[in-house]
Chain A
Amino acid sequence: MGRMKFLCDAERCIECNGCVTACKNEHEVPWGVNRRRVVTMNDGVPGERSISVACMHCSDAPCMAVCPTNCFYKTEEGVVLHDKDQCIGCGYCFYACPFGAPQFPNGPAAFGARGKMDKCTFCAGGPEETGSQAEYEKYGSNRLAQGKLPLCAEMCSTKALLAGDANVVADIFRERVLRRGGGTDAWGWQTAYGGGEQKREQKREREGQK
């Protein structure tokens, strides 16, 4: 299994917030913290489009680079996780992230009073024993370890939001784009995964298939 990615199909997203709520439900995320949000452009006028955004689990994750306590890490599946015990709530990651993913339970309060950063885990828990109460309380469910994909994507009302192995996700999207003959924009992929990495990955896949 390769690299995990998200893809939100703006041609399908209807801004229903199903994904946002699924995330709240699955992880009991408290009021005011949003691991996932839906953003709308051209609201209320022709051309209105929405996309659902969370941590994209970037290839070269800017949050990792700026964290002064080195609390981030990347799993073999490409999921960016962090250790809440090490987090000092400085908020650097929040400013570095192009997607606004890091969230703080106390909101953007004074430095140091924000509390431990929380963000999307790709439903993969965190550095505590898999499936333990401690993992759940700090990081939420670990669906990946149950052989399931992120609930936000699995429950998306129109299957606009896709999550999983990069190639599988890309295939699903490609079929749709072919059928509708347009609407090709995989929003945020360039920023999150970069052109280079995608090519590298494709190459790896090709080689893997040989």
Chain B
Amino acid sequence: MSMPTMKLLRTAALGGVLALGLSACGETSQVPVYKDGKYSGKADTRPWESAEFKGDKAAWEAALKNRARGQNEYNRGD
């Protein structure tokens, strides 16, 4: 499935959630809440939904863990 299509589908599925979220917010905060890859009517997909990871959150987390290792030279010996 191509990315844009996936995105469309998700947008449709999440529409209801977003509406709920906004109405709840109105009471407590002026800041719109980012929910599930959408912001203020625009798509901002979650990082693991990218072309590289295609929604595989575990793979994305593993990739990030691996990159984090690069920031610690103690991983390459004392």
Contact yes or no, B50 A127, CB < 8 A = no
Q: How many residues of B contact A (CB 8 A)?
A: 36
Docked Cα-Cα span, A55 to B59, in Å, equals: 27
Which residues from chain B sit less than 8 Å from chain A, CB to CB? 3-4, 7, 30-34, 39-40, 42-53, 57, 59-61, 63-65, 67-68, 70-74
Contact yes or no, B39 A73, CB < 8 A = yes
CB distance from B45 to the nearest CB of A (A): 5
CB distance from B61 to the nearest CB of A (A): 5
Docked Cα-Cα span, A67 to B29, in Å, equals: 12
Contact yes or no, A154 B34, CB < 8 A = no
Q: Top 9 A-B pairs ranked by shortest CB distance?
A: A147-B63, A145-B50, A73-B34, A127-B44, A144-B47, A127-B42, A145-B47, A164-B68, A172-B72
With A73-B33, A81-B44 known as contacts, the answer to whether A164 contacts B67 (CB < 8 A) is yes
> Which of these, B40, B45, B57, contacts A83 with CB under 8 Å?
B40
Contact yes or no, B31 A73, CB < 8 A = yes
Residues of chain A from 144 to 185 with CB closer than 8 A to chain B in the complex? 144-149, 153-154, 156, 159, 162-165, 168-169, 172, 175
Docked Cα-Cα span, A124 to B57, in Å, equals: 16
With A83-B40, A127-B42 known as contacts, the answer to whether A148 contacts B67 (CB < 8 A) is yes
With A73-B39, A164-B71 known as contacts, the answer to whether A146 contacts B50 (CB < 8 A) is yes
